[in-house]
Amino acid sequence: MIPLLNYCAVQNKYLLEISVESVDAAMAAERGGANRIELCSSLREGGTTPSLELMRGVRGRVGLPIYSMIRPRGGNFYYTDSEFAAMRRDVDAAKEFGTDGVVLGLLRADGLVDIERTRELVEQATPLPVTFHRAFDECADLRGALEDVMESGAARLLTSGGKRTAPEALEVLGELVRMAGERLIVMLGSGLHAGNIREVVRKTGAREFHAGLSSVVADPGADIGKFEAEVRRMAEVLRDRV
């Protein structure tokens, strides 16, 4: 039997993850053809840990794999001991509420990947896979940071190649995908939509893509229909490339 987290990728070759902050948006993403949900609160701050009520609500209404953001606040990714303790509790809560993975990222005060603390959370999350999020893009040396993320035990890296959006960094992203090889899934995100995803696929060789679609839907919560339609357009383009 194919494990759930790999099933969609095997079926479609390309996997589309959609970030949402409400039950309605999660259901729209599923109807539109997304393969996985990243569940957050406060997307305008880059995403923070969703409430227990939101986790419960989405898990009860959506059949897709759900990865929960583990981030106690917006801002930088250097966390105090109390914030780290909160992250540990949030990992336990995500496991308790039946999510399929967690998304997190920790840096040290010097801006390098915090390998030790990340590894602690990876171990605590087991058997759930961990995605190291775009905290990575704040590192000065992305190639060295990639090795650090792999050393931490994370299964996946979400990155825009150190730029504001992924389409601005296609050469770097392609290099990161090649460097990671089979050791780590490099998932591309930020600024992706149906109108540019073909070029991104062609120039990077990536297989997983992450989108919130804020560049084409200003307020998904206020226009669920348009949000669903944009998810569908993007999913269809990726299916067409199989």
Say what the pTM is: 0.92
Mean pLDDT of the chain: 93
- Helix, strand, coil content of the chain in percent (nearest 5): 50, 15, 35
Q: What is the pLDDT of residues 6-63, one digit of tens each?
A: 434 434 599 999 999 999 999 999 999 999 999 999 988 889 999 999 999 999 999 9
| pLDDT above 90 coverage of the chain, percent | 88
Q: Where are the domains of the chain?
A: 4-235
Instruction: Single out the residue of 172, 162, 158, 156 nearest to residue 205, CA to CA.
Output: 172
pLDDT at 12: 56
Strands (E) across 134-225 are located at 156-159, 185-189, 208-211
Determine the average pLDDT of the residues in 116-137.
Answer: 98
pLDDT at 45: 87
Distance, in Å, from the CA atom of 213 to the CA atom of 139, rounded to the nearest integer, reads 25
Q: How confident is the model at residue 221 (pLDDT cuts 50, 70, 90)?
A: confident
Report domain 4-235's class. Answer: alpha beta
Q: How many residues does the chain have?
A: 242
**Each residue of 63-99: pLDDT tens digit?**
999 999 999 999 999 999 999 999 999 999 999 999 9
Question: Which residues lie closer than 8 Å to 15 by C-beta, 6 or more apart?
Answer: 8, 9, 35, 36, 187, 207, 208, 209
